[in-house]
Amino acid sequence: MPMFYYYWDPTYILVLIGVLICGAASMIVNSTMNKYRRVGNSRGITGGEAARRILDSEGLYQVKVECLRSGQGDHYDPRTNTVRLSYENFNEATVTAVGVAAHECGHAIQHAKQYVPLTVRSAIVPAANICSNLGLPIIILGVILSWNQLLIQIGLIAFSVGVVFQLVTLPVEFNASTRAVAKVDQYGLLTSEEKNGCKKVLTAAAFTYVAAALSMILQFLRLLILFGGNLMRSD
């Protein structure tokens, strides 16, 4: 069967669906965050101040809060106990800034409380990074080498590790957002109306992780359709 078949076969619709889902998620999160980035919070609290207040109130004095250069993504680094916020979210006193800061503090709280899904995700990060990058190349190599079934099987297993990582990420992110809203409310960082905006920001952000997981699953399903049958027939 010609190689080009696997680039233009009907299963490519699964990849297209994944691209559309991720594109829609990106548009939603960008639109929502930009909307509430233009809404200042009545307390006048910046993202950096909100993060510090939440962490100190939770007794996490050892967790640092750092400002990143513009364009860099917000995240919590469990290796150094550091919440890192983009320049905008660190310095701006907006609903988006407080929401994002609270979300990253949610990860710090998870880490302190040894939240199991976060522990599992952290443990498989190295393997997921390697396997996600090597899975497809190994499958292609197996096809090139006269449909080497062992290589194809190894490639599928490697790709599946990336799928597992995406699935484990979902409860971690959802839980961090739930904690964020609770802490924003508990420590009075936003008004009731502003808190609703914060929820919308975090919900939109969570959708990106759902979209990434669905896209990964669809890609894996396509690989199983294309190559899984050959493995079954070879047994």
Q: Indicate yes or no: pTM above 0.85.
A: yes
Report domain extents, the chain: 5-234
- Tens of pLDDT along 91-117? 999 999 999 999 999 999 999 999 999
Cβ contact 209:121 at 8 Å = no
CA distance 174 to 113: 16
Active site residues: 104
Please identify which residue in the block is written with the tokens 């009545």: 42
- Tens of pLDDT along 172-219? 999 999 999 999 999 999 999 999 999 999 999 999 999 999 999 999
Strands, E assignment, the chain: 64-67, 75-77, 82-85
